[in-house]
């Protein structure tokens, strides 16, 4: 049940303890398709009482779910992966409806998600393995075990709900945690579909609870969840600004939190680069999904010796790959924010190398792919994530200057290096201050088996595979002594 009919409205309910919460029309909010500027359905907004009920349900379910065998958890997640593949078309249609993304992008996400969930499932037994520690005396044994941290809050964004929401929930469930999932108010029905997949796979009631809130209630609802005495940890994926607020709330209640925030991802083009391929994938990394990905290529740094040739190829790549633009932003406000950043830079003397920062679409919800050059050193665009279809091109003297410029940012999520000299690429990667470096590939790149880690202002903690499961586990030391063994204090 994705919707409940209320008068003439289709409403996405809150989903707590395996059932829809009663509707309250006073807390309905609209879900708007930006590309057509029309309300497509409504969602029930949570209040603080709903927040408490969701954690209560997760805490009650934790008592049994945390004791399930790793093989049962594995089997469930493998079933979830299968169902996501089977229902890919339905999930993709809902994401397009709610977020105005390109159908091809929405259809790709389930194909990306299923292998990620299977990898998480395969790593459960390894992650739960403890250790036997040496002791100072022969009459004592010491064991370090790993246990689920407890009920957790997963806050997942609107831009890639299928992968980011499912990955966070699966990592927590794999560890033995139960979950309150706060889905984005911009795509609540997409999140409701994902929750139904987990329950249809056999997840018991209360193990996964879904809440969403309108903008005016979101802060109070989030704090109520984090403040709950039974809530043990928070995962947040989203903007640095909201992440800062979440971090302060978590600190207030002494709850651990890990975050994957935004970035200003650089792509470095060395003199040894495959220039046609680099140009193609820089354009792809900057403009796919209207630039609404935390790993989007926002800074292109090219060594002077190949700058002219690369620039020509980059222009051609943009014209070839994005002749009709880059689609639509999720809301008009997102496109307006990105447009304003580029417009300010242009007024301050920056030039448009590709595109003109103009609006696209009948509702002006999209922006034309644009590449900026000659950006001033103090311009806000230099270190502000646009989350729009834009990138800045810099020309530097050599690779040494390229590294310095790439590191000159408050964020550090991902970077790419283009070079046919493998040792050069590896040497440079060690000096880049970010969680992931992809040599001869786009910044939009990750493997189900590898860690996704933010550094500096891009967050902390790791997602994906075994790394994500470990975020939801805590170590417990257990010692065993002979009952008559003496205890020496001197």
Q: Which residues contact 369 (CB under 8 A, 6 or more apart)?
A: 283, 286, 287, 318, 322, 325, 326, 354, 355, 389, 390
Question: At 343, is the secondary structure helix, strand, or coil?
Answer: helix
Q: Return the CATH fold of 4-262+458-476.
A: Aldehyde Dehydrogenase; Chain A, domain 1 (3.40.605)
* Confidence (pLDDT) at 482: 86
**Is there a contact between 462 and 120 (Cβ–Cβ < 8 Å)?**
no
Q: Which residues contact 30 (CB under 8 A, 6 or more apart)?
A: 39, 42
Cα(200)–Cα(369) distance, rounded to whole angstroms?
A: 41
Cα(443)–Cα(364) distance, rounded to whole angstroms?
A: 28
Q: Report in angstroms the alpha-carbon separations of 60 from 14, 72, 212, 304, 469.
A: 18, 19, 21, 62, 21
Burial of 349 per CB tally in 10 Å (0-12, 13-18, 19+)? exposed
Q: Is 319 a catalytic residue?
A: no
Question: At 187, is the secondary structure helix, strand, or coil?
Answer: coil
CATH superfamily of 265-439: Aldehyde Dehydrogenase; Chain A, domain 2 (3.40.309.10)
| 39, containing H or E segment | strand 38-44
- Buried-exposed string 138-156: b where 16+ CB fall within 10 A, e elsewhere: eeeeeeeebbbbbbbbbbb
Strand pairing partners for 38? 33
Strand pairing partners for 453? 462
Q: Residue length, the chain?
A: 490
* Catalytic residue (choose from 260, 298, 385, 399): 260
**Is there a contact between 187 and 2 (Cβ–Cβ < 8 Å)?**
no
* Confidence (pLDDT) at 489: 67
| Angle between helices 161-175 and 70-86 in degrees, nearest 10 | 170
CA dihedral 335, 341, 344, 350 (to 10 degrees): -110
Q: Which residues contact 312 (CB under 8 A, 6 or more apart)?
A: none
Cα(455)–Cα(433) distance, rounded to whole angstroms?
A: 7
- In tens digits, the chain (490 residues) has pLDDT values of 799 999 999 999 999 999 999 999 999 999 999 999 999 999 999 999 999 999 999 999 999 999 999 999 999 999 999 999 999 999 999 999 999 999 999 999 999 999 999 999 999 999 999 999 999 888 899 999 999 999 999 999 999 999 999 999 999 999 999 999 999 999 999 999 999 999 999 999 999 999 999 999 999 999 999 999 999 999 999 999 999 999 999 999 999 999 999 999 999 999 999 999 999 999 999 999 999 999 999 999 999 999 999 999 999 999 999 999 999 999 999 999 999 999 999 999 999 999 999 999 999 999 999 999 999 999 999 999 999 999 999 999 999 999 999 999 999 999 999 999 999 999 999 999 999 999 999 999 989 999 999 999 999 999 999 999 999 999 999 999 988 877 766 5
* Confidence (pLDDT) at 159: 96
Other C-beta atoms lying within 10 Å of the C-beta of residue 439: 18
Q: Per residue, what are the HEC states of 198-220?
A: HHHCCCCCCCEEEECCCHHHHHH
**Is there a contact between 109 and 55 (Cβ–Cβ < 8 Å)?**
no
* Confidence (pLDDT) at 490: 55
Cα(463)–Cα(360) distance, rounded to whole angstroms?
A: 35
Burial of 106 per CB tally in 10 Å (0-12, 13-18, 19+)? buried
Q: Which residues contact 130 (CB under 8 A, 6 or more apart)?
A: 143, 144, 145, 146
List the chain domain ranges.
4-262+458-476, 265-439
* Confidence (pLDDT) at 487: 75
Return the CA Rg of the chain. 24
Q: Report in angstroms the alpha-carbon separations of 329 from 30, 346, 360, 366, 388.
A: 17, 21, 10, 5, 7
> Cα angle at 75 between 70 and 76, to 5 degrees?
100
């Amino acid at each position: 049940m994705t919707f409940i009919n209320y008068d003439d409205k289709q409403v996405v309910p809150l989903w707590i303890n395996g059932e829809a919460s009663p509707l309250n029309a006073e807390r309905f909010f609209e879900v708007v398709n930006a590309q057509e500027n029309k309300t497509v359905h409504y969602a029930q907004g949570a209040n603080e009482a709903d927040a408490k009920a969701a954690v209560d349900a997760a805490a009650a379910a934790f008592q049994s779910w945390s004791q399930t065998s790793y093989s049962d958890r594995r089997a469930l997640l493998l079933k979830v992966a299968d169902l996501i593949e089977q229902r890919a078309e339905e999930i993709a249609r809902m994401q397009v409806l709610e977020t105005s993304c390109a159908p091809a992008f929405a259809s790709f996400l389930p194909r990306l998600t299923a292998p990620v969930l299977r990898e998480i499932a395969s790593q459960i037994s390894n992650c739960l393995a403890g250790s036997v520690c040496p002791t100072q005396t022969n009459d004592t044994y010491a064991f370090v075990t790993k246990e689920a941290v407890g009920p957790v809050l997963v806050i997942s964004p609107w831009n890639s709900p299928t992968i980011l929401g499912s990955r966070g929930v699966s990592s927590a469930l794999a560890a033995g945690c139960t979950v309150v999932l706060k889905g984005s108010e911009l795509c609540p029905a997409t999140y409701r579909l994902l929750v139904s997949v987990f329950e249809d796979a056999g997840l018991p009631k209360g193990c996964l609870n879904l809440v969403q809130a309108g903008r005016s209630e979101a802060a109070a609802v989030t704090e109520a969840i984090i403040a709950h005495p039974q809530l043990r940890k928070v995962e947040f994926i989203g903007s640095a600004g909201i992440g800062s607020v979440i971090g302060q709330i978590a600190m207030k209640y002494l709850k651990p939190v890990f975050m994957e925030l935004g970035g200003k991802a650089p792509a470095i083009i060395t003199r040894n680069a495959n220039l046609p391929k680099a140009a193609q994938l820089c354009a792809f990394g900057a403009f796919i999904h209207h630039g609404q990905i935390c790993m989007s290529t926002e800074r292109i740094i090219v060594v002077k010796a190949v700058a002219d040739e690369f620039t020509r190829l980059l222009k051609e790549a943009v014209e070839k790959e994005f002749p009709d633009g880059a689609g639509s932003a999720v809301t008009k406000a997102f496109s307006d924010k990105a447009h304003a950043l580029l417009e300010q830079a242009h007024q301050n003397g920056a030039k448009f190398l590709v595109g003109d920062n103009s609006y696209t679409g009948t509702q002006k919800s999209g922006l034309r792919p644009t590449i900026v050059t000659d950006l001033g050193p103090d311009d806000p665009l230099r270190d502000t994530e646009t989350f729009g279809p834009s990138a800045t091109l810099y020309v530097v003297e050599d690779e040494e200057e390229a590294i310095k410029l790439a590191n000159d940012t408050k964020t550090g999520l991902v970077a790419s290096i283009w070079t046919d000299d493998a040792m050069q690429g590896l040497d440079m990667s060690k000096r880049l201050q970010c969680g992931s470096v992809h040599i001869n590939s786009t910044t939009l790149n990750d493997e189900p088996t590898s860690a996704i880690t933010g550094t500096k202002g891009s967050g902390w903690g790791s997602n994906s595979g075994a790394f994500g499961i470990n975020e939801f586990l805590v170590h417990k030391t257990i010692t065993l002594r002979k009952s008559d063994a003496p205890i020496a204090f001197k």
